[in-house]
Amino acid sequence: MQNTNPHAVLLASPGMGHFIPVVELGKRLATHHGFDVTIFVVVADASITESPLFKPPRTPNPLNLVLLPPVDISALVDSTSSVASQLVIMMREALPSLRADISAMKYHPTALIVDLFGTEALAIAEEFDMLKYVFITSTAWFLAVTVHFPYIDEEAEHNHRVMKRPLDIPGCRSIRFEDTLDLFLDQTGDRNLFSGFTRVGMEISNADGILVNTWQDLEPLTLRALENEKFLGRVVKASVYPVGPLVRPTRQSSKSEVMDWLDMQPMESVIYVSFGSGGTLSAKQTSELAWGLELSQHRFIWVVRPPVDGDASANFFNVTNSHDGTPSFLPDGFFTRIRNRGMVVPMWAPQTEILAHKSIGGFFSHCGWNSTLESMVNGVPMVAWPLYAEQQMNAAMLTEELEVAVQPKIRPNAGVIEREEIAEMVRRVMELKGNEMRDKVKELQRSANHVLMQGGSSYNSLSRVSKECELKLHRLSAMALGA
């Protein structure tokens, strides 16, 4: 006899930017929509098991988290391979383990949900007669680019990549060259990268459904274009379900130096500075950022990683400290000068708890979508400092469309942003334009909280996915009885 509940298998790519929203999606399916949930995680190594998400919870955990055996792709990539290419190869190499684990289950799951880099696994869903969904852990705008990509002709590609003209997306906002994906910034014209992205776009379009970590009121124009036959609806065969914002919940954390320091600061007086788990700056830019934060005269918490100037700068990880403990890659005496109004945290800080704190008034961010959503749900305006992937697109949306962020006059990947401009951006968020931006982001905060509640648009989207899976489960049960 089949399970009485639909069983969803989720597949997460390497990297916390994929792992975290996949886990949060799994939690919502299990706790709000009656699913049995198994999450398979593909990793480069077993270090992800150190994440609190893998530690035994104090309350019953509705998820079955399975770490697939680490895959070794060293013989399949070289030093020129992009991160995206490496992720695709890792996911491909993990497919045999995923197939074996699903095959060994007593009852085949009802649905398989994969993220952007796991679309090749959709063939396994077909093999085991499962519904197949793709979960886009980024924006609907990024989804629109991805599904339109297979239909971009050579002339349009040349005009965008070489002539640096805007790229038109049917029914959506065009993408300026300076805001484009890394894919188009690759001047070598790597056709393998292009063909891989084309394949992903086609596989997404042919899924049974596409879940997106956004919500209806945040991207209404783009979501309409994805459904409209006159625009992207003519190539996207699947229904699109905005199910966000799915972010890590704030935990009741134990006392720490960071949180104790925040407790002593005035309301909305501190700007939090962090570039995510994968973001790095050059030595020169790190120094200018330090000077800029100091010049701004505002309180700050800065999560600092040693700078990296290309592949030749691994020695920056072997740093020395000055007499006051300031690392050698920061201005001499920096710790002494900012002691009363700044805190420097090496490598990692509890971001969700920090952004939720009443003392935080701004977020200096790389615009990764997880971090962006965490800022929105806490009503915190931003300094947008995009570094890679689709972060330039996110920054453009935040600054020009939603008007909840400011960004530098030149792009961070185009040169060093000077200390005076950094100080000015901090002041604009914290004082000059801060009130206006704060009002707008508080509106988004209220909207984000509403859509996930029962009856909200994102809750209803997942309810529709649930109904599809229940119908599938009933059909499978009827077939089993008939047999």
Buried b (16+ CB within 10 A) or exposed e, 435-447: eebbeebbebbeb
Burial of 167 (0-12, 13-18, 19+ CB in 10 A): buried
CA distance linking residue 324 with residue 340, whole number of Å: 14
* Residue 195: predicted pLDDT: 84
Please spell the DSSP secondary structure of 106-119, one letter per residue.
Answer: SS--SEEEEEGGGG
Contact 394, 276 (CB under 8 A): no
Average pLDDT along the chain? 89
* Residue 277: predicted pLDDT: 76
Block residue for tokens 């396994």:
124
CA distance linking residue 260 with residue 262, whole number of Å: 5
Give yes or no: 115 in active site. yes
Q: Look at residue 313 and tell me whether its pLDDT is greater than 80.
A: no
Predicted confidence band of residue 347 (pLDDT cuts 50, 70, 90):
confident
Catalytic residue among 7, 33, 36, 115: 115
Q: Encode pLDDT of 262-274 as tens digits.
A: 999 999 999 999 9
Q: Encode pLDDT of 89-135 as tens digits.
A: 999 999 999 999 999 999 999 999 999 999 999 999 999 999 999 99
Give yes or no: 36 in active site. no
Catalytic residue among 18, 33, 148, 298: 18
Q: Encode pLDDT of 30-81 as tens digits.
A: 999 999 999 999 986 655 556 555 554 444 567 899 999 988 888 888 777 7
* Residue 20: predicted pLDDT: 93
Domains of the chain listed by start with CATH number: 7-248+453-482 (3.40.50.2000), 257-445 (3.40.50.2000)
Q: Look at residue 290 and tell me whether its pLDDT is greater than 80.
A: yes
